[in-house]
Amino acid sequence: MVDASWPRRLPADACPAPVWPGTLGTSGPGAGRRVLIVGDSLTRESRVSTARLLRERGWTPTFRCWGSVRLDWGLAQVARAQRLGQLPEYVVIALGTNDVSWVDTATTQRRVGALLDRLGPRREVLWVDLDVDHSAFSRGRAQWFNRMVRQVAASRENVTVLPWRSHARGRGLGRSDGIHYGPSGYRARAEFLATALDRMVDAQSP
């Protein structure tokens, strides 16, 4: 069941007015392309490293991230950017960690579908899978989530699921609570994401 205690309002600065960065990148694989990255605390804690790497590689990133947020919040962020005409061709979704412990599977799957429907078939979407080991329950739900997202993505040619879990496990990235990483883990996550975006545009090049 959905956790009824989940707050309906977040602090005002959790949802800042979407404003494009003023200067586009020009060089590197990104070649000035804009990318919207929507995530929770894992994205928030790695955003400085991620932004630096992306800008160095020619990307122009915009982040929408906040601790403990879920898929419904991400859907609202995407809808808001779309209303303002600020939803770019490339979008990264890194949500689900806070859904698997508190929201029922049917609602979670419906929200994944609704989010991808909102993004539509003409954008390139990268979805970062989950690496959760907080408890046996959360571990099992995260495994279910990763399978579900891949099944949903299989019918959408513009959606790619990034295997963060296997990458993080292969690197032996440690966590104190089964969810959050230390500085080296967040740097590795930033490199992982930047490399995935670079490879995507490389694959699209003639």
pLDDT tens-place values along the chain, 206 residues long:
333 333 334 443 444 455 676 678 778 899 999 999 999 999 999 999 999 999 999 999 999 999 999 999 999 999 999 999 999 999 999 999 999 989 999 999 999 999 999 999 999 999 999 999 888 999 999 999 999 999 999 999 999 999 999 999 999 998 889 999 999 999 999 999 999 999 999 888 76
What's domain 25-204's superfamily in CATH? SGNH hydrolase (3.40.50.1110)
Among left, alpha and beta (phi > 0; psi -120 to 50; other), residue 165 is: alpha
pTM, rounded to two decimals: 0.90
**pLDDT at position 162, please?**
98
Q: What is the pLDDT of residue 206?
A: 66
Task: Quote the strand ranges of 41-89, DSSP E.
Answer: 60-65
What are the residue ranges spanned by the domains of the chain? 25-204
What's the CA gap between 206 and 97, in Å, rounded? 37
Q: Is 119 helix (H, G, I), strand (E, B) or coil?
A: helix
